[in-house]
Amino acid sequence: MPEVIFEKVTFYLSPFHNKHCYSAQIAKHQVSITMQTVHPNQERIKGINFGNSSPIKIESFSAIITWFAVSGSAIYFMLRADSISMNQTYSALALFVLYLVLWLFASRDEHYENERVVRRSLTVALFLVIVGIYFTVPFPYVAIFMVIWSAILPYLINIKWAFLLSPLWSSILYFVFEFYWGFNNMAVSAVLFWTFNLFALVMVNTTIKEKKSRETVETINRELVSTQQLLNQAAEQAERVRIARNIHDLLGHHLTALTINLQVASRQTDTLQVDESSQSNKQQIKESIEQCHSLAKLLLSDVREAVSDIRSKSSIELVSAIKAISERLPNLDIKVDYANDINIDDVNMADVLIRCIQESFTNSLKHSKATNVEVQFKKINGLVEVIIQDNGNEVKKKAKHTVNPTRGFKAGNGLTGIVERVSLLKGKADFFLNDKGFVTHLSLPMATYD
């Protein structure tokens, strides 16, 4: 459950939150934002850990079941066949096990140090193992392994190249079983398995596209939620400033005029000529005027103090916007430490900070594989310092040196976007690794916006 502490605003978010409907309308610009997501009233399913500590994927599980069925049945039939030696059976068993090991390494979620080279090398090795199985196991249905292998290719090469090259690796089945094993009519079987390979390519490519589209929609949803929060707060800020300005311009000016008139009236009573019998009345009138003058001055002071108080409370609450974003990140526990001496009243600065924090959350999930993120706000020497620390270890596996754009590090689109946004406000963004994980350090000047 969320926890809020107001000395330094801190909140914790459980990894799982209900989704709600959000809507916002800004009348001045006639902008309407509406978001609606499904309300998932369900429990998290426990499963076998695979990859990044998430339940095993249904695709991987089905592939392993298929491996057991194909390899188990092939070994069984080879043991029962008198024409197949035990050495050939043992060789087939070794190739089956090697296929499974290579496939697990080739399809795992964790990144390798040399990601592209390692993935492609494992895929090539897996292909050679399949060819070896063709020459060892005299059953054409082992071509199912080639179908499973085809499902890896859309992650490594362009889908068009995969389609163009699919007849080449599919034809190996025909040549091996037609000429090496002496099977008849293998052309039909080879064509059928080629269509299965195409089907695997299409389905996996569709899955990849859907995943990217879903991530894009989720990112846009989070941006809309944060934008909604900023627009609401900007509208409230504008209303506070309008009220303060009206109070100052109207009531303040009238009170000032009243004070001056009362002061003039008080002085005029001193020059007023009256007889001795009316001196007491003159003194009472003068005291009443001076009392009204004092009350008017006191009221004017109170009005000015109230206007200053309204203006001082017109700062934008970034914690609310961060919390709204965090509720749509189901696998990330977030802690925010917001110093109470920070008042950000500029919408542009708030928007830049929110966008940078949101991008950092996305990077922590996508690249660092983090489960916890700490966001700390400080005000030091007229600068707003924002430190975003995650506990992800995945980046450490990819880089052995400090990550910093000023040291020749080629940042991705996300980090480059953060640097560009902060630079627009004459700020600075640094990225580095420490013992806990990946750190994003933002520094923005407050003087321009106070």
Tell me what the mean pLDDT of segment 227-244 comes to: 69
Q: Which of 49-58, 188-197, 259-268, 420-429 has the lowest mean pLDDT?
A: 49-58
Q: Position of tokens 């989070």? A: 222
Tell me what the mean pLDDT of segment 323-348 comes to: 80
Flag whether 46 is in a domain.
no
| Sheet with 438-445: strands ordered across | 333-338, 372-380, 383-390, 438-445, 428-433
The mean of the pLDDT values for the chain is 77
Domain total of the chain: 3
Flag whether 152 is in a domain.
yes
pLDDT the model gives residue 436: 85
Q: Examine the domain organization and report whether 285 and 354 are in the same domain.
A: no
pLDDT the model gives residue 325: 78
* Residue 319 to residue 325: CA distance in whole angstroms: 10
Instruction: Give me the DSSP letters along 389-422.
Output: EE---HHHHH-SS---GGGT----HHHHHHHHHH
pLDDT the model gives residue 394: 64
3 state SS of 262: helix
pLDDT the model gives residue 274: 63
Q: Would you place residue 28 in the very low, low, confident or very high pLDDT band (cuts 50, 70, 90)?
A: very low
pLDDT the model gives residue 44: 31
Q: pTM here?
A: 0.57
pLDDT the model gives residue 241: 67
Flag whether 355 is in a domain.
yes
Q: Examine the domain organization and report whether 380 and 281 are in the same domain.
A: no
pLDDT the model gives residue 146: 96
290 or 35: whose pLDDT is higher? 290
Smallest CA-to-CA distance from 322 within 271, 276, 375 is with 375
Q: Examine the domain organization and report whether 132 and 62 are in the same domain.
A: yes
Query: What percent of the chain has a predicted confidence (pLDDT) above 70?
Result: 73
For residue 156, pLDDT over 60 is answered with: yes
Q: Examine the domain organization and report whether 102 and 162 are in the same domain.
A: yes
Q: Examine the domain organization and report whether 290 and 353 are in the same domain.
A: no
Q: Examine the domain organization and report whether 134 and 80 are in the same domain.
A: yes
pLDDT the model gives residue 39: 35
Smallest CA-to-CA distance from 230 within 222, 139, 109 is with 222
For residue 402, pLDDT over 60 is answered with: no
pLDDT the model gives residue 47: 31
The residue segments making up the domain with residue 61 are: 57-184
Q: Examine the domain organization and report whether 176 and 102 are in the same domain.
A: yes
Torsion of CA 321, 322, 328, 330, to 10 degrees: -160
Q: Examine the domain organization and report whether 80 and 177 are in the same domain.
A: yes
Return the top range by mean pLDDT from 212-226, 277-291, 332-346, 386-400: 332-346
Tell me what the mean pLDDT of segment 112-137 comes to: 93
